[in-house]
A = this chain, B = another copy of it.
Amino acid sequence: MISPRSRIPVAILGATGAVGQTFVRRLADHPWFEIAELAASERSAGKTYAEACQWLEGDMPESLADRRVVLCDPASVGSPIVFSALDSAVAGDMEPAFARAGAVVLSNAKNFRMEADVPLVIPEVNASHLALLERQRANRGWPGVIVTNANCAATVATMALAPLSETFGLKQVVVVTMQAISGAGYPGVPSLDILGNVVPYIGDEEPKIEREMNKMLGQVTNDAVVPASFAVSAHANRVPTEHGHLVCMSIALERRGSLDEIIQAMSAWRGAPDALTLPSAPSRALVVTTSPNRPQTRRDVGAGNGMTVTVGRIRPDPIFDVKLVALGHNTIRGAAGGSVLNAELMVARGLIGAT
């Protein structure tokens, strides 16, 4: 593994929002990266970060409170790596602008995830998809690149499914999510909508889940991803939890496996070897619990510092082969933490910063 000799300067685009703040928390003491620039819209540019930002969780890192927020524009931002927490309304224009300006863009937005030449990456699952980058540069003619991570619920489900996909193949997956409020950003979900309530609808969430999982679990051939062909039926629900997306899945496999073999495949799974030693990688990307009533959102969301997906209740399914519950942290593994891990993977593979 390559590790950088000095900390690489990075920018956070959309640094004042909820995901932007999670980036700040993940990067404030990062061994490889140094927050050089906090970028946001004109409303915030020029203010100190403390002035521009309604800090949502814990304490703002002291060293950043007085940092001036810069305008989110390639002309104002010079870092070679930019972490994008931009809303999809602006990411569509802004992220390519940064790639054209030469930056490595790690994006959380939905805009480019399904583009044929843009990798949609979870390091432990499909690091090989980074092979798309050559084609992206050739296609787009830009010196930078865009690398995306998936929808938060799709990420949790995909990590739980990866070992089954690798060992047995997947045929059909019904996935029902119970998603935390932080997934909607800030101000996000009005409290009158969710206190003591379940809202069985999240705008545009089910299509994302249904298509992104296929791409991530697809194979790279000749610089193209051939999506996996299993069918996905998603039901997305918002529930009154703070962090953590819990998913119930009923799964049909391509090749039969006994319950023991299935549990064994999931327990033994580690993912791509070079992902395991990255600074943000948890000791186990996937943990299988045998506790009868776990994972639980509030109790397990912090596993692996928010980077571990916990799977439990693996049991036979009367219709399909197996059913189970999976839980992951939506703003860490499913958003900012996932982007940072992608950037670390790219550094380790020499795709960023020949230092």
Taking Cβ atoms with an 8 Å cutoff, the residues of A that contact B are 18, 56-59, 172, 174, 176, 178, 181-182, 186-201, 210, 231-233, 235, 237, 239-242, 246, 248, 250, 292-299, 302-303, 312-313, 317-320, 323, 325
Contacts and interface: CB of A to CB of B under 8 A. Distances in A.
Given A176-B176, A233-B323, A319-B174, A192 B239 contact: no
Contacts of A199: 293, 296
Oligomer: number of copies: 4
Contacts of A174: 174, 250, 319
A325 B182 CA distance: 23
Contact of A191 (B172, B188, B292): B188
A321 to B, nearest CB: 11
Nearest to A230: B319
Contact of A192 (B188, B200, B201): B188
A186 B190 contact: yes
Given A181-B195, A186-B190, A200 B318 contact: no
The 10 A-B pairs of least Cβ separation, nearest first, read A187-B190, A201-B293, A197-B298, A176-B176, A235-B248, A191-B191, A200-B325, A189-B191, A198-B297, A233-B319
A94 B277 CA distance: 50
Given A174-B250, A299-B57, A192 B18 contact: yes
A278 to B, nearest CB: 22
Nearest to A172: B319
Contact of A318 (B59, B186, B233): B233
Contact of A313 (B178, B200, B313): B200
Contacts of A303: 59
A96 B278 CA distance: 53
Contacts of A210: 318
B237 A196 contact: no
Given A174-B174, A235-B176, A318-B210, A200 B302 contact: no
